[in-house]
Amino acid sequence: MKEIGLEPMVNLNMRLGEGSGCPFAFFIIEASQKMMRDMGSFEDANIVNDFLIDIREEKAI
């Protein structure tokens, strides 16, 4: 990985071999996909967010 300039996705310092982190990485990827796909929104939960300020719309000072 050093020769091609990559860093491990997860580094747990377990030294169990090259393939030990792969199942763990797939679990993280699948869990994040499920969260993005199935996570509710404010509208789904009927949460009123009129009082919140969307900081993404503010201009940098």
The predicted structure's pLDDT at residue 61? 52
The predicted structure's pLDDT at residue 58? 57
The predicted structure's pLDDT at residue 51? 78
Its pTM stands at: 0.50
The predicted structure's pLDDT at residue 44? 83
| 61 residues of the chain, pLDDT tens digit each | 788 998 877 777 777 666 777 888 889 999 999 999 998 887 888 887 777 777 776 565 5
Rounded distance, CA 17 to CA 4, Å? 19
- Given 7, 18, 43, 58, the catalytic residue: 18
Question: Could you identify the residue written with the tokens 């990559």?
Answer: 6
User: Does the active-site annotation cover 3?
Assistant: no
